[in-house]
Structures are given as structure tokens and as C-alpha cells.
Structure 1
């Protein structure tokens, strides 16, 4: 037998095994509600010893034009936790009694929709008039204010990880609904101190306040624009430097009428060579003026092409009110699809955008020209009869400039609001998961919880 010595060597480091590194960053932990800071706790709603109940049936007999607020799911929104009281119902109950006391709301209450569209969260703040009551489709959760900030809990359940439990229940396929036991079992991730909970709730509420302020500003600017439009388009108010009578005419005396051709949706091509407009886009994509088209097609062939200053209107819809749309296109040679009525005027006589404003502002007259029962139609022969009063083209141009400037101002505020919504989403993702921590040592939050 060969007695050679066998040398045993160490295993190459390349074949070694290394422990998998944890995916959570230092100071964080993985929980059933996601990754949260190590000093945050995961608790269920019931552990916090809240009062939990739901509304009662049979309130319809107490409905009245005046009385106490009666909160329904329609007053709750997925956009934020504040109640929407634009569509309110009231109840007048002569003797409230124990049942009324049980379902009566208080400041700081948390509301959860528990039937149909489950998981919509509401919060009762100072904007909600009291006394107020809830119906049987809503659960009420009232936390001890010395234990937890209920506004923080409302925000946690309304967004992000808090909604996953509701989605899981909805995805089960059974009739959507949860009971109060399930409400008590909802998991929460809580910062260690009331002060931090309140600071987070206050920060997010400040963003909500900004959004509400922007909504009010948009509504105000819109109302001013509508009033100004009514004054300028009828000649009740004249811009400085203009005077004289306006001419009254039928549209058929001022314009020629045409119709687009073909262009089914199947012919739309995001990489197509030619700009085009499908008639359906006039309902949803374009306003009074078309400065830039959104669709393209690869074939132009015998298609009908636009001339700058053309006014475009849809010619068929399932509702007559949808046909009172008019948009002035500012570009030549755009392919115009079938079911588009093209109103063509000499720009030295009639500003197309001015005409679009006139048509949209006088939708009642357009509706009188519409024909049909199941599907409604508007033809060039109908719009020829449309009557209008117009000033000289120079005054038309100045009116258009004024109204477009007001519209651009409203649009700028809307864009600012959209950016604020994105900011809020980012803040919620950071603050409600503890990815970003607020310095609260020197804060003295008076937030109601």
C-alpha cells in the first residue's frame, strides 16, 4: 500500500458561508405593520382600552330639514380624515335616551366605515358641529386622550400600512363588512410618546390646512372668472378703450361648417408622424383652447386637416349636455377625426377662442339645437342657427387675453395643489412609519387628540 502523506488544506475563503445581513436599517425592526423604529410599539386598537361602538338603525324616522348633524359614509373621504359636510343630513330626536348617548360624537372621535366601502377613516375635529350622530355603517372609536393621540391613529389607519388590513378583508370575496371585534383587533404602530404622536399629527394637519386654503382659493378664483366671463362675453362690461354696439348674427352668416373623417382609436399611434384629435378627447382632454395635442397617428391620407382658429365640437354623445363643448385649435394640419364638427371662420372677423367661450357660456342655446333620444346629435345645419353678439375682432382678442390669463392663474393654483398632495403623500410615508423623526423636545403641541 502506498503510504504517501495526504495533506489536508483549509477550505478556500471563496467557498465560505456568510450570514445574510438584516434588511432593516440600524435602529429599526420588521413588524406586521412594516419596518418601524425600535422604540415604536405595535399594539391593537383594543389594547388601548377605547370605547368602541357603531351607529343605530332606524334613524330615518328622525330625518328633518334642521336639527343635529347625522354623519353617513358619504361624509367621509379617502383623501383625508376630515369630514365633508357639503352633503349633510340632519335628525331631530325629541328624547335622545341611552341609544342616542351611545352614538353621540365627541371631539377627537375616530370613525371607520364598516360596511360596503370599508376602511374609510374620519376624525371629529372642531369643524364638526355637535351634537352629531352616526348611522349603522360607521364604527366609533374613542381613545383615552391621556394614552394615545387619536388623530395620529386616524392618519395611520387611513393611509399606507394601516389600509392593508382593510384591503385584505375586502379581498376575501365575501360581502364587505367588519364587526367591532375586528375593529378592536386592528394593528397600530405607535411612537413612544404622546408628544411625538401629536407632533406628527400636527405636521400632517398643517399640510391639510394648506390644501383646504388652496381649495378655497381655487373656488374663489373660479367664481370670479365665471362672473367676469359673463360680463365680458355679453358686453355688460367693456374693457378700457372699447365702445360701440356689438353686431348680432347667426353663426351661419360668419362661418363655414365641416366634419372630420375616420380616425378610429385603433389608428392612434404614440409614435405616429402626425398630430391628431379623436372626437372623444374633446370631452375629457381639451378646454376652450387647444395649444398642444396629445395624440398622434401614422396615416394622414384623405383625412380632414385643421386650420388654425378652427372651433371643434363633438357631434354625438349619450347625454345632450356633453355636446356643449367647443375648443379652438391653434395649429394647422392636425388630423381631425370623425364625429368632430369643424366651425371655420376668418380670424380677421371672428376669434375662434372667443367663439369657443361664447358657445360654452351659452350651453342652453346649444341644447335647444341638439336632436335625438337615446344618442344625441349636433350637426352643422343646427349650429348655423346659433345666434350671438360680437364686438370688433380687436376687442374679441383682448377679451380672450383677459379670460385666458384668469384661466392660467386658476391652473397655476391647481398645479400648486397637486404638488402639495404629492408632498403630503411623501410626508405621510416618512412620518407614519418613523423613517423621518420629528424633534419634539422643545415643542408644545396643543393638538387635540
Structure 2
């Protein structure tokens, strides 16, 4: 044991910290059913599992406040599916007379000597609660189980507040970046609608006449048993598509024999990929190939014939509502789980007559994507930094004492 620390039910903490159970530092209340009072014009936000798990982005409203929440209260999700992401997720109440607590959501009311924000950060998805999830069957936390949670607690409210403030400062940076990212993505969406709108001098093409479509054919029989976690040859299945590109870090691998089996689906820079099974119509552009890569049977690779279009321009065209409308027309209102080549080759689209003009439009949108990607990298960095700060501050590894 490191000098100055002690082992407790709340983990290894500084010797002057305490480890009370939640019942010793807070009160607890259960929520109530609001079904009969749900109304889009209601005055009160219903704090339910979806509201908390979606960080307040999805809300229902109630005409009645059956279970009022006060500013500083902490709402906690008590039920979830096996391995769910909502169990023990918390919401810190920031306004009076605005929220009402739904059933299967608990309300923790910290005592006066406890900093509400500190306790929120400490309890949110705490491993103590997650241990109740067996991985099979729904988890239902009991009031007694919640109140028995041990809490690593600094000796003074001043130190608790200092810790919470440090974490909140990082949260503010994360929220600012998320808002900026949303704004940039909305701007890009508007730019795509404007830049890809067919002009009078644009020409109409049919996909089957201007591009080759290739995919792993059925007789090759690649099975999931052949997927490798390590290797020299990437396998793209469609699940690695992220924001229009390939997340190479999440790819499986295949053996060399499977990679060399079909040259037509050996991935190249500027290839445009489209999923044709499961969630159909997901799009990815190959910007780089860090290792040799091939496709499974659920992905098309599209390449222009004789420079018939600029690949990156076509990629943005597929990301637009033009392709979405085409897919919806194929489905005719029903759900389709396969995009057949015989249907896809009939896709008609308009493009500028010159490659230079297509390239100009693609570059404008690509520059926007690069800016969004840089912000996304920065956001990931801040989120990792927050986790590190929380791990150090909430366990007392780093002290913030005045």
C-alpha cells in the first residue's frame, strides 16, 4: 500500500478521505408512472431512461409534475437490458420546477455537506452499479442496492467542489466542441444540397454505363470463422464505415489466400464503397490504404469507367438525398435488406460535364470534411482527457486542496 493511502470498500483512497455508503450522505426517492399525463404541450420534462441515456436530446413532456425534481438532485437509471449503456447513467438536475421523475428512475438528494456535482460525477455509471448486470436478463437495481454504494469522499466540501469544478471545465470544452461540430455538419449538409443540385448544363448518367460494380461473389464462401483479429490483410465488412470513411482500427483481417482470391475487390485509393446487405446504402470513400484490403460479400466497390466521373464527387453525390430518394423508391415503402446489382446499375444521376468542375465541388466539400475531422479528433482528445482527470481526481491520486 502506498504511504498516505488506505484500502476501503470504495477503493484505495487518501488516508484522510472517507468511504460512506450512499445512504449516509443522501436521501432517495423513486419516480412515478406518467403515461396518462404525457402531452407534447406539457410543462414538465419527464426524466426517463431514454432522456438520461440520450443526454437530454430526446424528451417527453407531462401535464403533471407527479414526482418533482429540485436543482442539485441526481436522477439515476435503475433498469436496463443486459450489457446496456443506460444502467446507472445519471442526470444532474439544473433547474427548479422543470423536471418530473418517471418510474424506474431513482432520485438521489445529497445532504448539505456534500457537493452535488462531485457526487454526480462519482456515481455516474459507477462500476459498483454495473456489477449487478449479469449479462443475461434485465438488470433492476433496488433502492437498497443503490443506497449501499460506497463513495470515495474528500473530507471537505471545498475539496469536493474543486474536483467537480475541474471536471466541469473539461465538460464545458467538450460541449462547446460538440455544438461547433453540429454547426459545421449542418453547414456541410446545406452546402451539399446547393452544390450537388443539378444545373441546366449538367449531363445525366446511368451508373451501369459509367462505372464498374464489384463485390465478393457467393461461391468464394468467406465465413466469419475466417475473420482474424490480427494480420496483414484488412477485411472491410461495412461495420467499419464511420462518418463516410473507413475506421481501419475496427477492421478484421483475412489470410493472404483470401486477399489474393479476387483482384477486383482489392481496395484502392479513391474507391467508393456501398453496403448492399443489412443496413444498405452506407457509403465510404477510400482516402488511404494503410495495409492491403479486400471486401466481404456485403460491400460493393464502385470505380469509374474511362474517367467518366470524379470518384470523390460521386461519393458526395451518394451521400446526398439524391441517392436516398433512389433507395426509397426501390423499397416502395417497405424495408429492404439487400441492394441488388441489377437495381443499383439503374441509378441515374447528374454531374457537371468536366472533371475539373466535379473536382472543384468535391474539394469544397472535402475541405469541410477535413475541418470536421480535425474537430472530431480534438473532441476525442478532450473526452480521453476527461476520463483521465476523473480517474485521478475522484480517487484522490491527484489532490486539489487549498
> TM-score if structure 2 supplies the norm length?
0.83
Contact 2:78 2:140 in 1 (8 A): yes
Within-5 A mapping of 1:416-427: 416-427=378-389
Query: By how many angstroms is 1:292 displaced?
Result: 7.3
Contact 1:75 1:85 in 2 (8 A): yes
Contact 2:170 2:382 in 1 (8 A): yes
Q: 1:54 to 1:312 in 2, by over 3 A?
A: closer
What does residue 83 of structure 2 align with?
Answer: none
What does residue 319 of structure 2 align with?
Answer: 360
Structure 2 distance, partners of 1:312, 1:327, is: 6
Consecutive unaligned residues of structure 2, counting only runs of 5 or more, are: 81-85
Within-5 A mapping of 1:7-18: none
Q: Which moved more, 1:200-209 or 1:363-372?
A: 363-372
What does residue 60 of structure 1 align with?
Answer: 35
Contact 1:211 1:420 in 2 (8 A): yes
Structure 2 distance, partners of 1:290, 1:169, is: 36
Deviations 1:117-140 (A, max 9, x none): 642222112xx4633210221222
Q: 1:297 to 1:148 in 2, by over 3 A?
A: same
- Corresponding residue to 1:202 among 165, 170, 181: 165
Within-5 A mapping of 1:380-391: 380-391=341-352
Q: 1:353 to 1:187 in 2, by over 3 A?
A: same
Deviations 1:312-349 (A, max 9, x none): 3333x245xx2353545777986444454343324633
Structure 2 distance, partners of 1:203, 1:383, is: 53
Q: 1:371 to 1:64 in 2, by over 3 A?
A: closer
Contact 2:71 2:96 in 1 (8 A): no
What does residue 246 of structure 1 align with?
Answer: 202
What does residue 99 of structure 2 align with?
Answer: 132
**Partner of 1:140: helix, strand, or coil?**
strand
Deviations 1:222-258 (A, max 9, x none): 111111111112256xxxxxxx821122223323444
What does residue 31 of structure 1 align with?
Answer: 8
Query: By how many angstroms is 1:184 displaced?
Result: 3.4
Q: 1:404 to 1:114 in 2, by over 3 A?
A: same
What does residue 304 of structure 1 align with?
Answer: 263
Contact 1:290 1:330 in 2 (8 A): no
Question: Is 1:344 paired with 2:306?
Answer: no
What does residue 75 of structure 1 align with?
Answer: 51
Q: 1:70 to 1:260 in 2, by over 3 A?
A: closer
Contact 2:32 2:102 in 1 (8 A): yes
Q: 1:351 to 1:175 in 2, by over 3 A?
A: closer
Structure 2 distance, partners of 1:329, 1:85, is: 35
Query: By how many angstroms is 1:266 displaced?
Result: 4.5
Question: Is 1:91 paired with 2:62?
Answer: yes
Question: Is 1:156 paired with 2:122?
Answer: yes
Contact 1:269 1:298 in 2 (8 A): no
Question: Is 1:119 paired with 2:88?
Answer: yes
Q: 1:34 to 1:277 in 2, by over 3 A?
A: closer
Contact 2:75 2:92 in 1 (8 A): yes
Query: By how many angstroms is 1:371 displaced?
Result: 9.5
Contact 1:28 1:38 in 2 (8 A): yes
Contact 1:260 1:342 in 2 (8 A): no
Query: By how many angstroms is 1:204 displaced?
Result: 0.6
Q: 1:309 to 1:182 in 2, by over 3 A?
A: closer
Contact 1:72 1:138 in 2 (8 A): yes
Q: 1:433 to 1:404 in 2, by over 3 A?
A: same
Q: Which moved more, 1:356-365 or 1:251-260?
A: 251-260
Structure 2 distance, partners of 1:84, 1:336, is: 36
What does residue 8 of structure 1 align with?
Answer: none
Question: Is 1:104 paired with 2:68?
Answer: yes
Query: By how many angstroms is 1:302 displaced?
Result: 4.7
Contact 1:40 1:190 in 2 (8 A): yes
Find the structure with the greater CA-based Rg: 1
- Corresponding residue to 1:222 among 157, 163, 185: 185
> TM-score if structure 1 supplies the norm length?
0.75
Structure 2 distance, partners of 1:119, 1:287, is: 29
Structure 2 distance, partners of 1:260, 1:211, is: 41
Q: 1:412 to 1:68 in 2, by over 3 A?
A: same
CA RMSD of aligned residues (A): 3.3
Contact 2:270 2:285 in 1 (8 A): no
Structure 2 distance, partners of 1:119, 1:290, is: 32
**Partner of 2:3: helix, strand, or coil?**
coil
